[in-house]
């Protein structure tokens, strides 16, 4: 019985170590390319070294100052949503050019165009086509 208990304890420790290292690895790089999350939510692109950070819902968010982190913690979900909308460099795409299909009405006529977008920072319109 003692051998079984020892093996069980070792297995539990190994699993716990694996689980901890998996979550630690996932949180090493910051969201939004290590830009300040609060800054992005306000339209500013501040690249950080991610020294000031917060883990929220399993994701690491970086900040340029403690005050930015404090503001983030006041309403993190809204701040993250705003940062997602404003962070052009956070769009993961391959290749460096993407297409965006838009529909609009001009003089009562429905028009569909495809925009070619260059994934530079800031995002750049390249051309449009049918």
Residue 38 CA to residue 70 CA, distance in Å, equals 9
Closest to 81 (Cα-Cα) out of 56, 116, 117: 56
Quick one: average pLDDT of 107-128? 69
Contact 37, 45 (CB under 8 A): no
Q: Which of 92, 113, 84 is nearest to 101 (CA)?
A: 113
Instruction: Using a cut of 0.85, tell me whether the model's pTM lies above it.
Output: no
Does residue 54 register a pLDDT over 60? yes
Range with the lowest mean pLDDT among 47-51, 53-57, 77-81, 116-120?
116-120
- Determine the straight-line distance between the first and last CA of the chain, rounded to whole angstroms: 74
Alpha-carbon distance of 108 to 59, in angstroms, equals: 46
For 28, the 3-state DSSP assignment is coil
């Amino acid at each position: 019985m003692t051998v079984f208990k020892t093996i069980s304890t070792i297995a539990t420790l190994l699993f716990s170590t694996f689980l901890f290292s998996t979550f630690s690895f996932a949180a090493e790089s910051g969201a939004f390319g290590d830009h300040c999350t609060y800054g992005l939510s306000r339209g500013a692109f501040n690249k950080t070294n991610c020294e000031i950070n917060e883990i929220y819902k399993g994701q690491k968010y970086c900040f340029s100052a403690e005050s930015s982190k404090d503001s983030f913690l006041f309403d993190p979900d809204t701040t993250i949503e705003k940062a997602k909308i404003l962070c052009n460099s956070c769009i993961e795409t391959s290749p460096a050019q993407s297409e965006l299909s838009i529909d609009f009405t001009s003089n009562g006529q429905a028009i569909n165009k495809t925009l070619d977008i260059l994934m530079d920072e800031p995002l750049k319109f390249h051309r449009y086509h049918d």
